[in-house]
Amino acid sequence: MSDRPGCVHLLRHGPVAGAPALYGRTDVALAPEAQTLLAPLFAQASPYDQIISSPRTRCLQSAQALAGHWQVPLTVRPEWAELDFGDLDGRPFSELTEQWPLLEAFWQAPARHTLPGAEPLVHFHARVLATWQSLLAELGEQRVLVVTHGGVIRQLVGQLLAADWRSGALQQGLHLPYASLTRIWCWAGEPPVCQIRQLAASPAQLLWQEEAAWRLM
């Protein structure tokens, strides 16, 4: 195992300009207040070697702005997209009165109750895990920012903590605010060793002094 870890920050996109709904493949834009939430990130002096983004506009808007600000490479990877919620994707909750029992069943046991036309959770989990493993294989000692979605981050955190990714408790019990950052250090090896150093912090709360310690390793 290498003495010096790579560092991955998982950034959940900011609040969206849309009514409360399940937003998966639906390409909704960011709300105006998202820029304010991310302001502390722009105040940092190029803390990353590269940025990776989901292709959804709500992620890509911030990823492009940050990459341009720091002058670091940006890669768009469709594998980092959110779960596709099928026929209910992007439809405001206020319009889903008849479908509410389907939603309740999904929230309680998402692996057993796939929404109509949706991506099964088992496929989503496999996609996210394969994408994560691909990133680790190339990470080395880099610092990487991944701009992605709440569902993706929950699957990864659950995997790293050996939690039951099939459980509705993981989806409902792990609160990931908009524009929150989860910091993970990863040491190369067979298999790689990963450690969550900070979970769901706002950009203002992120322990940037730990980044300074990382640079001194």
The confidence score (pLDDT) of residue 165 equals 92
Residue 26 domain flag: yes
Range of the domain at 171: 6-215
Nearest CA-CA partner of 170 in 180, 160, 178: 160
Residue 23 domain flag: yes
CATH number at residue 127: 3.40.50.1240
Number of domains into which the chain is organized:
1
Residue 1 domain flag: no
Number of Cα atoms under 13 Å in the Cβ half of residue 127: 18
Residue 138 domain flag: yes
Distance from C-alpha of 165 to C-alpha of 168, rounded to nearest angstrom: 8
Per-residue pLDDT 10s for the chain (217 aa) are 557 899 999 999 999 999 999 999 999 999 999 989 999 999 887 789 999 999 999 999 999 999 999 999 999 999 999 999 999 999 999 999 999 999 999 999 999 999 999 999 999 999 999 999 999 999 999 999 999 999 999 999 999 999 999 999 988 889 999 999 999 999 998 889 999 999 999 988 877 656 655 555 5
